[in-house]
A and B are shown apart, each in its own frame.
Chain A
Amino acid sequence: MGSNRRQFLRIAGVTTLLGLGGGITLSASSYQPEEHSAREKEARLHAGRWGMVIDTRKFQTEEDFHRVIEACHSIHNVPRDEAKAKQEIKWIWADHFEHVFPGKENPFLAERVEQNEFLLLCNHCKNPPCVRVCPTQATYKREDGIVQMDFHRCIGCRYCMAGCPFGSRSFNFCDPGPYVKDKNPDFPVRMRGVVEKCLFCYERLEEGKQPACVEASNGGLIFGDLDDPDSHIRQVLREKYTIRRKVDLGTEPSVFYIV
């Protein structure tokens, strides 16, 4: 056979070039992203850091809590089936003082504080541990302070649930679809193996609306920009004494409680 090393290398080189060239022409003809044409909605509300004040004096009866929780869970397709109680998914819920503010309880608490429940949701921390531990950046902090989740990217490792000191996150141990009644066709459901939590209604802020819980709270929840000294929420914070959950952990929650 007349082939030698030099010829072999030449043929191999030419073939490689052809292959590469072909690949480039193919990819050049395919889809080009059109970032230039994507834009924010005009009605979108902006803030330096979104925050919330919970006026616990306005949450007295079961109905007060139910109305707010239902407003959130119904539009976000959160399963509310009794059959799934053991694997409860919650974006906003209520619990007793000693669980909400551990370390702050004392044996002679005011009756109202001792017996009533307190509203709980994701604190959208300024320094969120869930974001630090997420290996896929499925959970991340937006410029406006919202701790956002990209459900597409969540791999269900649950590091964020271990990282969150507030228990704000729930895991879908099974497909939640069948447990969601009257699905809201404007919002997705989640799939098995994905973590979920409150997202401060980013989809409503985009349309210029307040979060669903705030709208349903009859003034019990105040939502606004913590970075803007003239905002309503800052005015409330100036006037009323407020506390936050587990401040000593240094996560800097953005949810404040008037007790």
Chain B
Amino acid sequence: MYDAGKILIGLVIFLLLLTFPFWYSLGQASYESPELQLPEDSQECIRDTEWMRKNHMQLLDDWRDTVVREGKSVYTGSEGKQYDMSLQKTCMDCHTSKKKFCDRCHNSASVEPYCWDCHVAPEEVANGQQ
């Protein structure tokens, strides 16, 4: 192999750069899940927490299309209970505050969903913040 030394040095530099995020954060505190304000007056969500955490975004997308396009707006949860497929009327009926629930994770994960460009959050509206 020609120029083996140069190539190896180059490879080492490349690998260091590639793994930069890992060794850079080595000494720092690990990621902590943000603390969410859970609803006080209801105990269960339409699905379990783990499932919701993983899938709520696809679920909401799915709800949007089913409700707007097909006019079907009744959802049957895993417990057999029926819900109105609506972000404002169902989700945010329990999770009333966008700032204390939705935003905490979204900010921490640096995602900016555009749901609230149009949809209103009950608590923020009541306080005149939105």
Contact = CB atoms under 8 A, between A and B. Distances in A.
Given A31-B59, A191-B117, A185 B88 contact: yes
A33 B62 contact: yes
Contact of B74 (A31, A40, A190): A40
A183 B120 contact: yes
A38 B74 contact: yes
Contact of B72 (A38, A142, A190): A38
Contact of B130 (A1, A31, A44, A177): A177
B71 interface: yes
Given A33-B62, A189-B118, A39 B76 contact: yes
Contacts of A34: 62
Contacts of A185: 88, 120, 122, 125
Contact of B118 (A1, A41, A188): A188
Interface size class of A (residues with CB under 8 A): 20 to 34
Contact of B76 (A1, A37, A77): A37
A95 B46 CA distance: 48
Nearest to A176: B118
Contacts of A202: 71
B69 interface: yes
A38 B75 contact: yes
Interface string B29-49: 000000000000000000000
A38 B118 contact: no
Given A1-B1, A202-B71, A206-B71, 14 more contacts: A30-B58, A31-B54, A37-B76, A38-B66, A38-B75, A39-B76, A40-B72, A40-B73, A77-B120, A142-B71, A150-B68, A188-B119, A189-B119, A206-B73
The 4 closest A-B pairs by CB, nearest first: A31-B58, A191-B117, A38-B72, A188-B118
18 contacts: A1-B1, A31-B62, A38-B72, A38-B85, A39-B72, A39-B74, A39-B76, A40-B71, A41-B74, A142-B71, A150-B69, A185-B125, A190-B118, A191-B114, A191-B117, A202-B71, A206-B71, A206-B73
Interface of B: 1, 54-55, 58-59, 62, 64, 66, 68-76, 85, 88-89, 114, 117-120, 122, 125, 130
